Amino acid sequence: MYGRAMNAFAASVMLAERAMAIEAAGAVRAIYEVGFWLSLLATDPLKALEALEIDEHDNAIQREILLREEHPSDAAVVAASLKREAHHVAKLAKRKSLSVKKIAQTMPKRSGYLEYRLVSAFYGHLSSSSLDGLKKRNGKGGVTNILGPFETEIPKALSFALDAMLRCTRYFEVMMKEGRQPDRLEKAHRTLLGLQDAP
């Protein structure tokens, strides 16, 4: 997980260097998400492992739905897909995935959730305000849509990237320290092995 955060940080810096600030800040969302998961792994590893298992089944179900949409007329593919989906639905047993918001609520104040929401709302999904930057006045009372860099947003994008990475590193350090408690680590490891052995 921490490696994923480092990759996202490197990507955000490289994108910012090319004045692609919107894309850079969008990559920062992954760093914040990793930080939230690392915090949960440090404080409640069994709950985190269960939540990750639920996410795995949820994602598998979504993949099967997309597969059937791509091959609606292939009866064999659809039948096999429905069988696999039923397996994942049974494994879920009506359990719900743990949202980032719920994870953040278990953390101390200044968890980084506000910053995560800012990145998600403004940068992750182009808002009407940011879309104004993609318009060029044509001098005739209208506008022409253009694609281009957001140079003025580079400092903000890098600021979010640094904030997210520092938080993520802190949570990773806490997790590693907590992981040195042998009883807790052994229990979490047994649970992980059980999940891996499940059909």
For residue range 68-106, what is the model confidence (pLDDT) as tens digits? 999 999 999 999 999 999 999 999 888 888 888 888 887
Calculate mean pLDDT across residues 13-34: 84
| pLDDT for position 147 | 45
Closest listed residue to residue 113, CA positions, set 39, 11, 55: 39
What number is the average pLDDT over the span 4-27?
Answer: 85
**Could you give the C-alpha distances from 70 to 63, 66, 81, in angstroms and in order?**
11, 6, 12
Residue 15's nearest CA partner among 30, 2, 31, 26 is 26
Dump pLDDT digits (tens) for 122-147: 554 444 445 555 555 666 666 555 44
**CA separation for the pair 101, 98 (Å, rounded):** 8
Alpha helices (H) in the chain, listed in sequence order? 2-17, 21-43, 45-70, 75-92, 100-105, 113-118, 128-131, 154-178, 182-197
State residue 140's pLDDT score: 67
State the Cα–Cα distance between residues 100 and 70, nearest whole angstrom.
Answer: 30
What's the pLDDT score for residue 125? Answer: 45
pLDDT digits (tens, 9 = 90+) for 139-189: 666 655 544 456 677 888 888 899 999 888 888 887 777 655 555 556 655
**Is residue 62 predicted with pLDDT exceeding 90?**
yes
Block residue for tokens 């919107």: 22
Backbone angles phi, psi at 28, to 5 degrees: -65, -25
